[in-house]
Structure 1
Amino acid sequence: MTENLIKNVVAAMQDSLTDEQLQKLENVLAISLHGLEVREECTQLVTSERHWERILKMYIASKRLENCAESTMIAYKRCISMLFIGLNKKIHEITTNDLRYYLAMYQEQRKISLSYLETLRHYISSFFTWATDEGYINRDPSRRLRRVKVPQKLKKPYTAEEREHLKDIAKTERDVAIMELLYSTAGRIGEVVSINREDVDFPNREIVIYGQKGKKERKVYLTEGCIYHLKKYLASRTDDNPALFVVDRKPYSRLQREAIQTMLRKLGTEAGIHAHPHKFRRTLLTDAGTRGVPLQEIQAYAGHAKPDTTMLYVSVKDETVKASFMRLMA
């Protein structure tokens, strides 16, 4: 078994290493594994014990009590279920090496990004830490899983020209109103699609939206452009659906997030712009920071629990840094 293991490892690395490096690898493996007994682990499907499913249900229930968004709970459930099905082991038998193996295989087979790999590690670690704290298992196998180092890429907001271009090529007044509202409110797409007509306070130019994360209400405001296009869109409506945005065909049901994502993706392709709903949120927060709105106020407007989260969204432009330096330091 040891000899086969060495052969398999060397064969898997032959396209990545030189002949000299392969020989070195084979020597290191032979020396390291000498005197050790290597046995193949039994991975037959465990059908007699599904205890992990009951534990997972309790875990999801605890996340629900913490006011986690429904989409987050679905992601947790899917991730943990796939883990147990993939490993085919009882919860108390899972080791740190099992978790490392699963994450490594998941990344290799699905070619996921480092960012998504870190998300999976976080989900897994959260579950096993909770299971240990609750006494379902004696030790936490995820404790020694290291965080994945994700390269920090600056996610750029829309430029003013890009936003205008998207509105110019929009197919309907509704689509323009959606883009104006996404920008003005810095709302998450799930928050925007849940808004009703009666929620819009036109005289005071504000909306109280119910946050997806943290389940907190917060007040957001509307620009003059947003007010103009919303009124123009609503004046064209002939239906009685209470939803602020509806599909443009009967029975005029509430517009869903997937429809907005598709609309923006098509406009972006046509304009040669990377366009998606969340980018409007980043753009508003960046513009607010550039124009001098204090970070604490931007944090409250965005509905963030921590200022660190806000800083991930607020891009600091080089020219702004230079202007401040020259004014205050030079």
Structure 2
Amino acid sequence: MKSIRTELAIINGVRFILVTPHNSNTDKYPLYCIEYFYNGKQSKVKEGVKTIYNKYLEQVKEFKSVNKKLLLLRNLFEFKINELVKPIRVEESFSDSTITIQTKVIDALNKFFEYHTKRHEIGEIKDIYNYTERDKKVTTFINKNFANLLLSDLNTTVWIDYRSYLKKWGLGNSTINLQMVYVKGFYIWLSQIMELPITNHASKLKKLDITQQQPKFNEIKQSLFVEFFEVVKSSERYLRLHLMARLVAENTLRPIQVLNINVKHVDLPNRTITVFDAKGRKWRKIIISEVVKELIQKIYENTIKAERSIESEDYIVGFYNQTKQRKIFAQTMFRERILLPFKEDYPQFAHILIYDFKHTSITKALKVNSVYEVQKRAGHSKVTTTQIYDRSDNISRPITVEELNAIK
């Protein structure tokens, strides 16, 4: 890992990240900068950052509390962040906050995403990642093909073209359907929140038939599967990644389910965790392996060493020098702070997603377990969902008359 990324502030939906060299970085001129993404552009500011950070290192030597260290770091960089925020605030003050039927579609989409960002800031939605990805796709398309189109001229043809555009990129039908759900949400926001007299053109389009789509089998190759777990167990800095991948692979949990596990859900003596299945809308209990128990125990020990108390509302993935207590470690944070730096160090895993461990686990388990046993472990409400992962040949052996006679 070449760099350490520390969140300094989130202002008006813009995240400011401090990038400093890791202890293992051997570059002659390592990177010191503040990184932020605004108005479709990523910026890196280097001026004065190294000087401020070196000042921080001098002052922090006697500090033991991780929270105090982070507070000092943010205080020292506060004036620098304020300098960067000024042009953003000026630009916002001159922008028209109202939307009319004569507003450009691209401007309305930007305001729509700002609306979701504010919802995320106040805790109305937990994760902004899916909104960010869907916004990026639709704004890229509009900028490229309909940059000057007004809301008054918006029509169904635009969204037919958008669906074709997504299809050309090789996206699956289910993913395209979700993109269109985002577009429909845009229309609902325009009509019900912004109170504009606009027809919901997207509602006129039929969903793409996902039954005609080839099932995706994202099975990780055996050699990479083995190597991954050898690597993550070799160093404590991969502790959270190891725990996440284990729970996804061994108990076929979804990554978001793992991130939502509180201390109160964990019963280490009995090696059980109670998890919520959002799709099935029910709680269920899973039995964890001895290794997972040890990983959670290690996180508890590290938390105590950092002079932090362990509370029932804390999340097992996230606290101890990662995020605030009682605040969830969001999927974007996990991806940016843990997964991406890991993949930079080990590029052979660059194409692997955390969700692939769930796919691999189900596919492998079907080779040795009954489909109903695997269905229960995977938390699928329908056995047909589990059967999608069954890649065995459609061949069955006979049950002989003699065997039937033996059954009483």
Does the alignment reach a TM-score above 0.5?
yes
Q: Paired residue for 1:155, among 207, 218, 221?
A: 218
Q: How many residues align?
A: 267
Q: Paired residue for 2:230, among 149, 168, 181?
A: 168
Q: Distance in 2 between matches of 1:128 and 1:179?
A: 34
Measure how far apart 1:286 and its partner are. 2.7
Which amino acid letter does the alignment assign opposite residue 231 of structure 1? Q
Q: Paired residue for 1:316, among 376, 384, 391?
A: 391
Q: Paired residue for 1:123, among 151, 155, 179?
A: 179
Per-residue Cα deviation, 1:175-213 (whole angstroms, up to 9, x for no partner): 444432232232222222232334221232211123455
Identical pairs, percent: 16
Q: Paired residue for 1:97, among 157, 161, 176?
A: 157
Contact 1:188 1:278 in 2 (8 A): yes
Q: 1:48 to 1:196 in 2, by over 3 A?
A: closer
Q: 1:219 to 1:97 in 2, by over 3 A?
A: same
Q: Paired residue for 2:247, among 181, 188, 206?
A: 181
Corresponding residue of 2:378: 302
Measure how far apart 1:158 and its partner are. 5.2
Task: Give yes or no for the alignment of 1:208 onto 2:264.
Answer: no
Q: Paired residue for 1:191, among 252, 257, 274?
A: 257
Please tell me whether Structure 1 or Structure 2 has the larger radius of gyration of its CA atoms. Answer: 1
Contact 2:374 2:386 in 1 (8 A): yes
Corresponding residue of 2:323: 253
Q: 1:220 to 1:262 in 2, by over 3 A?
A: farther
Contact 1:265 1:276 in 2 (8 A): no
Contact 2:156 2:201 in 1 (8 A): no
Contact 2:276 2:284 in 1 (8 A): yes
Q: Distance in 1 between matches of 2:344 and 2:399?
A: 45
Q: 1:106 to 1:139 in 2, by over 3 A?
A: closer
Q: 1:282 to 1:106 in 2, by over 3 A?
A: closer
Which amino acid letter does the alignment assign opposite residue 172 of structure 1? S
Q: Distance in 2 between matches of 1:130 and 1:50?
A: 14
Measure how far apart 1:222 and its partner are. 0.6
Q: Distance in 2 between matches of 1:220 and 1:130?
A: 39
Q: Distance in 2 between matches of 1:154 and 1:229?
A: 29
Q: 1:221 to 1:120 in 2, by over 3 A?
A: same
Q: 1:103 to 1:246 in 2, by over 3 A?
A: closer
Q: 1:128 to 1:167 in 2, by over 3 A?
A: closer
Contact 1:94 1:141 in 2 (8 A): no
Secondary structure of 2:316 counterpart: coil
Contact 1:79 1:124 in 2 (8 A): no
Query: By percentage of residues, which structure has more strand?
Result: 2
Which stretches in structure 1 are left out of the alignment for 5+ residues? Answer: 1-45, 61-66
Secondary structure of 2:273 counterpart: strand
Secondary structure of 1:217 counterpart: strand
Contact 2:271 2:287 in 1 (8 A): yes
Secondary structure of 1:326 counterpart: coil
Measure how far apart 1:278 and its partner are. 0.9
Q: 1:264 to 1:305 in 2, by over 3 A?
A: farther
**TM-score, normalised to structure 1's length?**
0.57
Q: Paired residue for 1:218, among 277, 284, 302?
A: 284
Query: By percentage of residues, which structure has more helix?
Result: 1
Corresponding residue of 2:397: 326
Task: Give yes or no for the alignment of 1:278 onto 2:355.
Answer: yes
Measure how far apart 1:75 and its partner are. 5.5
Q: 1:80 to 1:275 in 2, by over 3 A?
A: closer
Q: Distance in 2 between matches of 1:301 and 1:290?
A: 15
Matches within 5 A, 1:52-131: 71-72=129-130, 87=146, 94-105=154-165, 112-115=169-172, 119-124=175-180
Q: 1:78 to 1:47 in 2, by over 3 A?
A: farther
Per-residue Cα deviation, 1:153-172 (whole angstroms, up to 9, x for no partner): 4321453x544422222242
Secondary structure of 2:366 counterpart: helix
Secondary structure of 1:155 counterpart: coil
Which amino acid letter does the alignment assign opposite residue 113 of structure 1? G
Q: 1:223 to 1:127 in 2, by over 3 A?
A: same
Q: Distance in 1 between matches of 2:184 and 2:298?
A: 52
Task: Give yes or no for the alignment of 1:265 onto 2:343.
Answer: yes
Q: 1:77 to 1:316 in 2, by over 3 A?
A: same
Task: Give yes or no for the alignment of 1:49 onto 2:102.
Answer: yes
Which amino acid letter does the alignment assign opposite residue 244 of structure 1? I
Contact 1:69 1:213 in 2 (8 A): no
Measure how far apart 1:244 and its partner are. 1.7
Q: Distance in 1 between matches of 2:230 and 2:174?
A: 39
Which stretches in structure 2 are left out of the alignment for 5+ residues? Answer: 1-98, 117-124, 401-408
Contact 1:162 1:273 in 2 (8 A): no
Kindly report the root-mean-square deviation, in angstroms, between the aligned alpha carbons of the 2 structures: 4.9
